[in-house]
Amino acid sequence: MKNLIKGHQGDVQFKQITALPKNVKKTKNAPLAYGEISGHIHVITGDVELYENKERRFAKVGREGARLQHILEGNLTPFCMTETKELPVADHKSILLAPGFYEFGIQQQYDPFNEVFKQVID
Q: List pLDDT tens digits, range 78-98.
A: 777 888 888 777 677 889 999
Residue 117 has pLDDT above 50, yes or no: no
Per the CB < 8 A criterion, the answer to whether 13 and 105 are in contact is yes
pLDDT band at 112 (very low <50, low <70, confident <90, very high): low
Per-residue CA distances from 93 to 29, 87, 89 (Å): 20, 10, 6
Convert the pLDDT of each residue in 41-75 to its tens digit. Answer: 889 999 999 999 988 999 999 999 999 998 888 88
Distance CA 74, CA 31 (A): 12
Other C-beta atoms lying within 10 Å of the C-beta of residue 97: 23
CA dihedral over 95, 100, 106, 112, signed as positive or negative = negative
